[in-house]
Amino acid sequence: MEASLSYFVNALTLLRILAVPVIVILVLWPEPGPSVAATAVFLAAALTDFLDGQLARRTDAVTEFGKILDPLADRIFISGTIATLMIAGILPWQGVILVIVRDIFMIVGYKVVEGRGAKLRVSFLGKAYTTVMMVAIVLAMTGIEVRGVQVGVWLFWVGVAGSLITALVYSINVISQLRRMKVA
């Protein structure tokens, strides 16, 4: 039973990755722009981020594969979606590039430090940034404006700042770990 639950949890994580091409099609075809269907797919896939983590922790179905796949799926899901929204003219390219470069840095950095024995754990700050970015994406996809300000784009910039701050915090933590390991 535990193995099949682990497969289910990992399948939920994979659904986030598989949602990206669907979102791309719904946002960009037949004409680029906001899409209720894309927003619904994004929300359903974002829900899997919450569900897979809760199920894995509460049922002790946490796997090494899931520990690697979950943050990777988040990066692919968010980066793929914001790149699509940039192509559609909804999000600014400067912020999208910053987030994607940060995500590549985090993925490559994870592989480098893992080989040296350091552990990168998802922090509350990282989870908060991901949540802010997901809310920003939903608001950007719907095109909601308040007094002429696109709320999703504004919140997206908050998410960009959060992504850069989390990269800095993760980097400081890893450097500290590596120094302690070198001393010991």
Q: What is the pLDDT of residue 171?
A: 93
The series of mean pLDDT values per 10 residues for the chain, 184 residues long, is 79 95 95 90 94 84 83 93 97 98 92 82 87 96 90 97 95 90 80
User: pLDDT value at position 122?
Assistant: 77
Any idea what DSSP says for residue 175?
H
- Of the chain, the end-to-end C-alpha distance in Å amounts to 41
Q: What is the pLDDT of residue 105?
A: 94
Per-residue pLDDT, 123: 85
- Looking at residue 2, its pLDDT comes to 64
For residues 85 and 140, is the Cβ–Cβ distance under 8 A? yes
- Please give the single-letter amino acid code of residue 153: V
Which residues span the domain enclosing 60?
A: 2-183
For the chain, the domain total comes to 1
Three-state secondary structure call for residue 89: coil
Task: Say what the pLDDT of residue 67 is.
Answer: 81
14-30: pLDDT as tens digits: 999 999 999 999 999 98
Q: Is 115 exposed, middle or buried (0-12, 13-18, 19+ CB in 10 A)?
A: exposed
Structure confidence at residue 111 (pLDDT): 84
Instruction: Write the CA distances from 95 to 36, 82, 85, 175, 184, integer angstroms.
Output: 23, 9, 11, 26, 40
Which CATH number is 130's domain given?
1.20.120.1760
Q: What pTM does this model have? A: 0.91
- What are the b/e assignments for 159-181, b being 16+ CB within 10 Å? bbebbeebbeebeebbeebeeee
